[in-house]
Chain A
Amino acid sequence: MVAQADPSNAALSRLSSLHFSVVLLVVSALLMIAHSMGVLPAWLVRLPEAVIPPTAEVLDVVFAFVQNDLGLIHVTRSIAAGLEYLLDATGNILYGKNRFPYLNRVSFLFIESLGPIPWSAVAAGMAVLGFWLGGWRMAILAGGTFVWTAMIGQWDIAMQTMSVLIVAAPIAFLIGLMLGIAAWQWRWVDNAIKPILSVLQTLPFFTYLLPAVIFFKVGPTAAAVATIIYAIPPMILMTTLGLQKVSPDIVEAGKMSGCTRWQMLTRVYIPAARTEILVGVNQVIMLCLAMVVLTAFIGMPGLGAKLLAMMNSFKLGRSFEIGVTIVLLAITLDRLSKAWVVKQPKHWERETPWWERHFLLLLGLGAFAAFYIISQFQTFEILNEVGRKQSWSKGREIDRWIKGVLEIDSIQAVTGWLRWFLNVKVLIPFRNALLWVPTPALIMMVVALAYWLGGRKPAIYAAVFFGIVALSGWWDRSVITLYTVISAVTISMLLGIPMGIMASGNKRLANWVLLTCDSAQTFPSFIYLIPAIMLFGVNDVAVVFSIVIFTMVPLTRYTIEGLRAVPLEMTEAADMSGANALQKLVSVRLPLALPTMAVGFNQAIMFAFFMVIIAAFIGTQDLGQELQRTLAGTDLGKNIVLGINVSLMALTFDMAILEWAKRRKKALGLG
């Protein structure tokens, strides 16, 4: 039915692209047959060591030159010093870091020292802010999150985390905004930034680690820099997008009132692009929170560091509680910033008294000050600080509960069987098969796939990128990474898409599933690793399982959203032609939702490439394990080569799938 919607020439070009793909597949099949008969020369099976260029060594020399001879390290170190000053200030206010005791020494009225701010004052202030942005519900969410954090005994570490994020997020916002404006103004900036952004977004975090430590000094500074770099890309993209979408009418009006260029930018373009820019802000905040745990490896204090310490002493319950705090903080900040996106400036009648205009601001300040002062008295000390013994932490109880669940025989039987079946029957044979395929044959298969999906451009990139991977000298490990990604994405498709289809029929269920998706995505991925190991042991099943939890999220979400967005007239037309529910789903709704689902599929692949490296903490034999090994020495060059390999493989799929979705949408007339 949908094929009719295709313009005939598009169908023709697809046929010819299929043709080219088939040729490639036939050649690679011939190579494999030759290999299985043992007649393929060794240099066609794997590239000989001799032709592999010493990329890592060259990079090491280049880095040593840039770092020491060109003196880049002095530049970055002075930036780090500036950052450190800011971080010391926020650290002092939020948790009483005593490096430069500004507030700790200041006394005011009856209060001996102003910093750190008592938790109750912050919670009260946030509740009022929440009310201003989104009414009672938001007030409860914002206030409640901070009360929970204090009550569970994590206030200090949460504030340590916040002290870095408060610095990192605004810097990421400013840099992103400026780069976004530049990319919108000048085409060449846009062209230069795009590929860098793509690589940055797919580079595994282990690769940020060493350069950040060397150039920006281990500690909160390196953590802040890594967070900023990670959070910038969506800000740039959203800024450019917003500015491009400003309607010509508004621009015309600005010009007619005689705006200068600066005024055009600040008074016309940016206010008109407000919504997109604020969505960018929201993305910045979410990505900053996503880095909370990972940056703990390079000196981020607070929740992440505590989480790692708890996991290393096998305290699942308390690490779980830290995870909950991170999710709550993320949801609160997400909802608050989204409420801010929708909230339009309020216009007051003339001669409204100033206190009425700023009533909520005054209320917030008042509540803040009141709790601040009350908490200074011994009787109300609990409002200032909740000690370890007073906290509500239920770590031990949760530990016991987890152990209890694992002892249930039926659970053990199921996981035991899954472990055997997946490992012995599926994963290991699949891995061995992929490793057996000669290098050129595998590259051709990938190129054929890229050509079939996206046409010439993605195919060329696929050939170049996988060629580079082959020349990097880490082919086998790259293949294992690829195998893990493919296995995990396949399994999550089998689970996530049916779940999405089921949920899309029911609005309440869909909202529930989407909320679960949100939480699963912000829940620190590290926490999944331990249950995965406890259920399946240290092996590929645990690795794949931990990735699946993560990759199911976008698949489910985009399936729901794709199906929801199917135009009503289409389904009505199907109803009128007497289609039953299944026919409607298979022939009408799914094909129309497919381009959106492809975006989810793409995101799932990107997540899988991200998680597969983190799964090195379970124990893998792929690029991630090798990356982890580089941490022991200071192999900066090798570290970067490995990271780039991951990035290139991810980008190959990214380009092919997105190109397919774009073409398909056009063909379906979905814009």
Chain B
Amino acid sequence: MKSLLKTMAAAAVVIAPGVAFAEDSNDPIIIPIHNWSSQIVMSNVVGQMYESMGLNVEFVTTDSQAVYESVRLGDVALELEVWEGAFGASFREALSKGGLHDVGDHDAVTREDWWYPMWTKESCPGLPSWEALNDCAAVFATAETGDKGRYLDGPVDWLKHGQERAAALNLNFTVINAGSAAALWAEIGAAEADKKPVLVFNWTPNFAEAVWPGEFVEFPAWEDGCDTDPTKGPNKDELYDCGNPANGYLKKAAWDGMKDKWPTAYCVLSNISFTNPQIAEMAKLVDTDDLEPVEAAEEWLAANGDAVQPWIDSCS
């Protein structure tokens, strides 16, 4: 960005606004970035798409839960990765307060559930069926859980209900909440040395799939209402007795004012729909190839220009 040539190129781009998309405001579109790679790269990809349209863009780092309050207030314009499982609750709460709305789903589906790295299967061959868990409880036991198995759930603020599920399905497991995604990786990383069996919370798309091959535990399939109606699922008296949806949504959300302030950008946003392989590729460029997010986005756009150009063209 700082060499002479690039500066001149950038200057050339800056002259462009006001020509092609007269109706969009010149104020920067503020895009929030969080602390996982795919989201950072995706935000940069969309930011660079906007810049190529002559719009001004700015990124701001925020907490992934608190961001919905900011979208609602218009402090940031949009959010590109609303995971059904992890952020559904915060998103719905903000939705009910007003100020932001749903701009459609990505093609990509998400899955978040109990997961184990492949080496675990050696000591518990009945997996991935959840019914094998109780037989293997001792395999997952640790000093402080006694004879019960140990399952490391996601942070409490992700609202995963691991505790409730273990109770509803009568699993002989102690559910412990990790404090952050980093804590989950550290636990898997530490187990890797000895190929110690572990059961942790995980999701896809995610960089971890490439680092540690593994599988999700197959719980009773999700039925709508499993979290609100006790009669759904195998245990007729309890909630949360199903696995999470195996094809959860990945949404985009926007501030209500975005449509009027940046109509073209808003139109493009509503067209955007990334697929699972595309998202995995974005994450890989940073996590495996060690690129900086900005470079990763440039590289990704260079390789996938054909996929995104129609989203832009249909709006101009």
Contacts and interface: CB of A to CB of B under 8 A. Distances in A.
Interface of A: 96-99, 101, 104-105, 112-113, 116, 118, 209-210, 213-214, 217-220, 296-301, 305, 308-309, 311-315, 376, 378, 381, 384-385, 388, 395-396, 403, 406-407, 412, 416, 419-420, 423-424, 428, 529-530, 533-535, 537-540, 615-621, 625, 628-629, 631-634
Contact of B142 (A210, A312, A533, A537): A537
B225 to A, nearest CB: 22
Interface of B: 1-4, 7-8, 10-11, 14, 28, 30, 32-33, 35-37, 40, 56, 58-63, 65-67, 69-70, 73, 75-76, 89-90, 93, 142-144, 152, 155-159, 176-183, 185-187, 189-190, 192-194, 207-208, 211, 286-287, 290-292, 295
A209 B63 contact: yes
9 contacts: A112-B8, A214-B69, A300-B61, A312-B181, A419-B142, A530-B182, A533-B183, A533-B190, A535-B190
A617 B180 contact: yes
A306 B144 CA distance: 34
B69 A634 contact: yes
Given A378-B4, A529-B179, 6 more contacts: A118-B2, A214-B69, A218-B32, A412-B194, A416-B143, A537-B142
B83 to A, nearest CB: 13
- Which one of B59, B159, B180, B207 has the highest number of Cβ atoms from chain A below 10 Å of its Cβ? B180
Contact of A313 (B30, B36, B60, B90): B36
A419 B211 contact: no
- Which one of B4, B40, B286 has the highest number of Cβ atoms from chain A below 10 Å of its Cβ? B4
- Which one of A218, A219, A396, A621 has the highest number of Cβ atoms from chain B below 10 Å of its Cβ? A218
B78 to A, nearest CB: 13
B9 to A, nearest CB: 11
B144 A424 contact: yes
Contact of B179 (A313, A423, A616): A616
Given A314-B211, A388-B291, A99 B58 contact: yes
Contacts of A298: 62-63, 66
A665 to B, nearest CB: 40
B183 A617 contact: yes
Contacts of A540: 144
Nearest to A111: B4
A101 B178 contact: no
B159 A632 contact: yes
B194 to A, nearest CB: 7
The A interface, classified by DSSP as helix, strand, loop or mixed, is helix
B186 A299 contact: no
A313 B37 contact: yes
A218 B75 contact: yes
Nearest to A296: B61
Nearest to B182: A311
A423 B157 contact: no
A308 B60 contact: no
B144 A423 contact: yes
Contacts of B185: 312-314
B69 A632 contact: no
A2 to B, nearest CB: 44
Contact of B36 (A309, A419, A539, A618): A309
Nearest to B5: A378
Contacts of B207: 313
B193 A403 contact: yes
A312 to B, nearest CB: 5
Contacts of A313: 36-37, 185, 207, 286-287
B186 A96 contact: no
B179 A615 contact: yes
Q: Give me the 4 closest cross-chain CB pairs, A-B, nearest first.
A: A533-B186, A314-B185, A420-B143, A617-B179
Nearest to B292: A388
Contact of B2 (A116, A311, A423): A116
A636 to B, nearest CB: 10
B295 A388 contact: yes
A376 B4 contact: yes
A535 B183 CA distance: 12
B276 to A, nearest CB: 18
A632 B157 contact: yes
Given A388-B295, A533-B183, A534-B190, A299 B90 contact: no
Contact of A218 (B8, B62, B90, B286): B62
A218 B7 contact: no
Given A99-B58, A299-B62, A632-B89, A419 B143 contact: yes
Contacts of B295: 388
A535 to B, nearest CB: 7
B46 to A, nearest CB: 17
A218 B70 contact: yes
A383 to B, nearest CB: 11
Contacts of A219: 30, 60, 62, 75
A633 B93 contact: yes
A533 B143 contact: no
Contacts of A628: 155-157, 179
Contact of B60 (A118, A299, A412, A424): A299
Contacts of B292: 388
A300 to B, nearest CB: 7
A371 B208 CA distance: 43
A419 B66 CA distance: 35
Contacts of B7: 104, 112-113
A263 B190 CA distance: 65
A537 B187 CA distance: 6
Given A299-B61, A538-B152, A618-B183, A96 B1 contact: yes
- Which one of B69, B158, B190, B295 has the highest number of Cβ atoms from chain A below 10 Å of its Cβ? B190
A634 B28 contact: no
Contacts of B70: 213, 217-218
Given A388-B290, A534-B189, A625-B177, A617 B182 contact: yes
Contacts of A99: 28, 56, 58
